[in-house]
Amino acid sequence: MFTTRPTREQILALAADLAQTFAARAAQHDAAGTFPHENFADLRAYGYPLLSVPVRYGGWGASLYEAVLAQEQLAMGDGSTALAIGMHVQTVGAAAESRPWANDQFARLCAEIVKRGALVNSCATEPELGSPSHGGAPRTTAQRRGDRWIISGHKTFASLAPELDYFIITATFTADDGTLQAGRFLVERQAAIRIVPTWDSLGMRCTGSHDLYLEGAEAPLEALLSAAPISRADLSKPNINAWFTLIVSAVYLGIAAAAQQTALRYAQERTPTALGKPIAILESIQRRLGEGELALKTARAMLYHTAMCWDNAPEARSALTDQLIACKLTVTNAAIQVVNHAIRAVGGASMTRDLPLERYFRDVQAGLFHPPSDENGLLMLGKLALARYESAQSD
């Protein structure tokens, strides 16, 4: 699509065009619960998988702020598609900023993304383990046999599974010194990875977040990206992935923005015979729309500010943990508020599938369940605040 790195304006214009195309398909896929493969053909054709690939590897090198803007725009067309491709965007973006993967595997992956639009996601959640953010050892195992790893296990919530080319799999293995370690492996799609279409959800019905069964999947020895001794996570020292947290938040903000636009348009067009004028003239409607606008602008300001803080001060990122947590909780809850106000402004028509509001209502509920959840996030914020207070008192 672009012979040189696109500008921010070009990226956002592309996302807006794609969003319009996706919006025309969204209701049909949502009703059937089908995965929108054609959306991902479009994303690949326009180069969107390159969004967070560093420029030095041939990508667009978007900052976290730019990725947030693009994902918000994309979600205004179809939240499911935006969330699914967002898993690829955040996986690559976070890897580009963290310590390098072993054995030049990141460069190898980026080359495949540039060459053929390859897609990747990290698959860590398991039935017994739940979210890895809660700590614990994965039940999935990796065994070394000659020059290969043999990986077996069961993963859940593997978003984008129908289109993934690479899976980052967490698995336990025994290191050379005999210690039990948790490793992350870059595993290419193959027959030994079975995708079972289990995703049949209230909202975000088209993310393809199915179950994976790894039945002796093979990977070369250099596919081991990182490893650490098995240990339970210490929630008093949360490790928050900024790219995951803010990209996810941007998706739900985009859905909320689409709901607000739907309500504004409806208020201008709906003219009851008894009123003889659009309902937009009514103060009760204006107040509802104002509530939605306030929640939307507040959430957007916090999200953008947090992303810019992350981009502009790399040396201070370790101090942004509480801001990232607060941002995720604020944005996802604000998105629910915005949609609720839009529904109340529109009235009973919002319950029908003639309008997309009922889909937006269902989709934004999913924002509550991405880590950190409200319960864990508030716990983390409280602990961090207490630690800061105690530190200040001892100085």
Angle between helices 283-312 and 242-269 (to 10 degrees): 160
Digit-coded pLDDT (tens) for 194-206: 999 999 999 999 9
Residue 152 β-bridge partners? 141, 215
Could you tell me the pTM of the whole model? 0.96
| Six-digit token string for 75 | 């979600």
Q: Which domains does the chain have, with CATH numbers?
A: 8-118 (1.10.540.10), 121-229 (2.40.110.10), 242-394 (1.20.140.10)
At residue 238, the pLDDT reads 72
Residue 53 has pLDDT above 60, yes or no: yes
Mean pLDDT throughout 255-282? 98
Q: How confident is the model at residue 4 (pLDDT cuts 50, 70, 90)?
A: confident
pLDDT tens per residue across span 121-167: 999 999 988 666 556 789 999 999 999 999 999 999 999 999 999 99
The string of pLDDT tens digits covering residues 207-260 is 999 999 999 999 999 999 999 998 655 545 678 999 999 999 999 999 999 999
Write the CB contacts of 176 (distance below 8 Å, at least 6 apart in sequence).
none
Distance linking the first and last C-alpha atoms of the chain: 56
Positive or negative, the CA dihedral 76, 81, 85, 90 is: positive
Specify the pLDDT at position 235: 45
Both tokens assigned to 86 = 């967002």
Residue 365 CB partners (closer than 8 Å, separation 6+): 202, 203, 336
Residue 389 is predicted with a pLDDT of 95
**pLDDT digits 0-9 by tens, 72-124:** 999 999 999 999 999 999 999 999 998 779 999 999 999 999 999 999 999 99
8-32 vs 37-45: helix crossing angle, rounded to 10: 170
- Can you state the percent helix, strand and coil of the chain, rounding each to 5? 60, 15, 25
Q: Which bin fits 125, alpha (ψ -120 to 50), beta or left (φ > 0)?
A: beta
Distance, in Å, from the CA atom of 353 to the CA atom of 187, rounded to the nearest integer, reads 40
Tell which residue, 215, 185, 25, has the closest CA to residue 120: 185
300 contacts 264 by C-beta, under 8 angstroms: no
**Phi and psi at residue 3, in whole multiples of 5°?**
-85, -20
Separation between Cα atoms, residue 90 and residue 209, nearest integer Å: 16
| 129 phi, psi to nearest 5 deg | -75, -35
Structure tokens, 211: 């179950």
Q: Beta partners for 277?
A: none
Q: What is the pLDDT of residue 136?
A: 73
Beta bridge partner(s), residue 237: none
Q: Residue 187: helix, strand or coil by DSSP?
A: strand
pLDDT at 237: 63
Task: Note whether 59 and 114 are within 8 A (CB).
Answer: yes
